[in-house]
Amino acid sequence: MRMNVREIGWAVRSACRGSDPELFFPLSPSAEQEARAKAVCARCPVMDDCRAYAVRAGEPEGIWGGLTVKERRGLRFPAGWRRRAAG
């Protein structure tokens, strides 16, 4: 999915704007790194916009809007969704 400026214009107001990208996209993820990234997100004025974008776009990596890939996937595809759809 291609991003356009209108869709991610909120990013210029993000708390992570000046942060090292590796904090949010680590080569070797750890619980400590995840907690540090989520702490930045927790104080971000555009966290909801960031989270909504990442879920909608299906971002496959990193922490966006205070959520990991697995957490975002859980919002997009709640547990049991396939079972309900097939039944």
Binding-site residues, in ranges, read 16, 41, 44, 50
Q: How far apart are CA 84 and CA 19, in angstroms?
A: 41
Beta bridge partners of 67: 64
Binding site membership for [4Fe-4S] cluster: which residues? Answer: 16, 41, 44, 50
Q: How far apart are CA 7 and CA 3, in angstroms?
A: 7
